[in-house]
């Protein structure tokens, strides 16, 4: 896998609704190997292998991330911000942030005080960003409302083939589907494979819905992170036992198509890749939910990357699991075809 490109993606910024710049990076990368690259009007980017094939497989990984959005400028030149996606306001107090204005990056610090730290419940109104502007006019000149805000942190290597970074949810999934497309081409796959880096997942799965409705695939595999149970605070046993380095997770539940899951397990067996069941009795809260009910309905599976400390500036994953997800999915898309019977009974 192209590890350097993965790190490049993690260094990019793309809060939900503000994914334009990172999608340019994704499109440019897939142009190096895809037969066709489409930039959709909703912001999705789709790399296609064998676009003339009548049998179409959708691979979806969302490229957007949680964060903040600038909503106002105070008279003193501070910025007000609102949450985008499932963030915890307290996590931002006293943290450095970077703001994508659409033209350049502006850096800031989220205000903190003893009084704020003691508050039991924090809301968006408690989030104030100091960019060093002395008044409202200066703040407006440098940062327009609607600008996306993320933690000013970058990826770092850890021991044991692990890395830490913000936005592994789900920049890792976007990377996996792009690399799976590249590997499928190397394996001379003849199916139509559509790797989509979707937008807006953290705020309602809009990119997944657009992809399913627009492509009309015969089947779909979404890739997203899942909670690892082997670290501090892990929900051991709630979704099954999921460990970093233990291999790709395969969703078991109403959104994990049983026949597709069996084929994924067969692919894993061919490659000697360990997999882990991720027990999800109801909704997955991923693009899978939207793709599954798009159009006339799409048989869908969900491949999960185990992740620690989700929705924090220091998420942790295993590079081995990332590689195994890529190989598993690229093998899967080569094993199925128009004759594959997906009827469970």
Question: Catalytic annotation on 201?
Answer: yes
List beta partners, residue 164: 156, 316
Is 257 annotated as ligand-binding? no
**Does 62 belong to an annotated binding site?**
yes
Place of tokens 């067969």: 266
- The answer to whether 73 is annotated as binding is no
Residues 6+ apart with CB under 8 A from 182: 2, 33
Q: Which of 179, 201, 315, 331 is catalytic?
A: 201
Per-residue burial over 172-195, b = 16 or more CB atoms within 10 Å of its CB, e = otherwise: bbbbbbbbbbbbbbeeebebbbbb
What is the C-alpha separation between 299 and 113, in angstroms, rounded? 51
Task: Tell me the CA distances in angstroms from 109 to 88, 94, 120, 128, 147, one per residue in order.
Answer: 16, 7, 22, 8, 15
Contact of 230 with 93, CB cutoff 8 Å: no
64 is in an annotated binding site: no
DSSP 68: E
Cα dihedral 223/31/152/173 (nearest 10): 10
Q: Is 130 annotated as a binding residue?
A: no
Residues in the chain: 345
Contact 298, 292 (CB under 8 A): yes
Helix (H) or strand (E) holding 84, with range, is strand 79-84
- Known binding site for Zn(2+): residues? 62, 169, 202, 224, 311
- Known binding site: residues? 62, 169, 202, 224, 311
Catalytic residues: 201
């Amino acid at each position: 896998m192209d590890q350097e490109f993965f790190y490049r993606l993690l260094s990019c910024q793309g809060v939900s609704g503000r994914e334009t710049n990172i999608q340019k990076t994704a499109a440019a990368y897939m142009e190096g190997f895809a037969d066709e690259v489409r930039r959709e009007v909703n912001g999705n980017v789709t790399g296609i292998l064998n676009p003339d094939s009548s049998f179409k497989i959708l691979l979806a990984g969302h490229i957007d991330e949680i964060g903040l959005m600038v909503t106002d400028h105070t008279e003193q030149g501070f910025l007000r911000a609102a949450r985008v996606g499932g963030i915890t306001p307290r996590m931002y107090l006293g943290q450095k942030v970077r703001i994508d204005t659409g033209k350049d990056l502006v850096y800031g610090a989220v205000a903190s005080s003893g009084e704020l730290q003691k508050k039991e419940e924090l809301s968006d109104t408690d989030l104030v960003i100091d960019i060093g502007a002395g008044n409202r006019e200066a703040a407006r000149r440098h940062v327009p409302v609607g600008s996306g805000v993320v933690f000013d942190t970058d990826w770092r290597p850890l021991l044991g083939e692990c890395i830490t970074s913000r936005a592994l949810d789900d920049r890792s999934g976007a990377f996996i589907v792009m690399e799976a497309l590249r590997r499928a081409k190397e394996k001379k796959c003849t199916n139509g494979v559509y790797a989509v880096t979707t937008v807006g997942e953290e705020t309602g799965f809009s990119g997944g819905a657009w992809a399913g409705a627009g492509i009309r695939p015969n089947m779909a595999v979404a890739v997203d992170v899942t909670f690892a149970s082997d670290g501090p605070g892990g929900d051991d046993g709630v979704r099954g036992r999921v460990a970093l380095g233990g291999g790709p997770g395969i969703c078991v539940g109403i959104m994990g198509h049983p026949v597709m899951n069996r084929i994924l397990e067969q692919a894993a067996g061919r490659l000697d890749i360990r997999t882990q069941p991720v027990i999800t009795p109801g909704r997955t809260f991923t693009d899978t939910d939207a793709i599954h009910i798009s159009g006339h309905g799409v048989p869908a599976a969900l491949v999960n990357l185990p992740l620690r400390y989700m929705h924090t500036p220091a998420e942790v994953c295993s590079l081995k699991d990332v590689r195994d997800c890529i190989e598993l999915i690229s093998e899967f898309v080569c094993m199925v075809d128009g004759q594959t019977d997906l009827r469970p009974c």
